[in-house]
Amino acid sequence: MTRPAVLVIAGSDSSGGAGLARDVRTLADFGADALCVVTAVTSQSNRRVASIHHVPPAAVRAQIEAAFETREPGAVKLGMLGSRATVEAVAEGLRGHEALPWVLDPVLAASSGGALLDAEGIAAMKERLLPHATLVTPNIPEAAVLLDERPVVLLDERPADDEAALTAQARRILALGPRAVLLKGGHGRGDEAVDWLISQDRAPERIASPRIRAEQRGTGCALASAIAAQLASGESLGEACRRAKAYVVELLRAAARDH
């Protein structure tokens, strides 16, 4: 049987903790191949983002075209895009492929600090990509930014912790056009990390796990890639989200043991 493939459109991370490096490892763990489109080259460590080199938009689009010439993927995973011009190039490159499952991880800031998509890029993402996404996977601060409630610099913001408010935010993001929203609760409080899966055709699903106190970069990349890999294999969205959550929990447990 041919292994499924996922088209990953994201930035590189010189530390190997997040971005394309994390995406490829995660896809391999789920038995899927990666077709890679590099949107930006970042120089970053676990502590800081030193610099970002944006790949020219024409080159981004050319990578997408070459990937589709090589092989038809079963899903698309969108990560760091970096600029409005890149968002536009990605939207043009994916035109005609809207029937594929798209998993959009709205990468707006690095966990080590620093904005990774400016206001114009966020506006373009909401206009050009969100309406075609099968699933968008914001964390709590990213959800607020998508709804224009907070600045792009996220890390000093106090995370919301009211589940009614969070599900209301998820529904407002759903109104922007994606078929489903997985609002991740890692930035919340309490003994459980609760993710909410909200979609247009099903009741809200609460996906909870024990909160693990561990430092692990790239968990958002891993979650979205794990979901995309399973959608490419024909798994249902709900089951893909549950299995991806369990996978990330194991990453965090391993990180906790290592420290």
| Residue 207, beta-bridge partner list | 195
191 or 220: which carries more pLDDT confidence?
220
Query: Any idea what the CATH number is for the domain that residue 229 is in?
Result: 3.40.1190.20
pLDDT value, residue 259? 63
202, with CB counted inside 10 A (0-12, 13-18, 19+), is exposed
pLDDT digit string, tens, across residues 17-50 = 889 999 999 999 999 999 999 999 988 777 777 7
Q: How many domains does the chain have?
A: 1
pLDDT interval class at 110 (50, 70, 90): low
pTM: 0.91
257 or 170: which carries more pLDDT confidence?
170
pLDDT value, residue 190? 63
Question: By the 8 A CB rule, do 200 and 237 touch?
Answer: no
pLDDT value, residue 221? 94
pLDDT digit string, tens, across residues 74-89 = 999 999 999 999 999 9
Domain hosting 82: range is 5-258
Say whether pLDDT at 153 is over 80. no
| Residue 49, beta-bridge partner list | 44
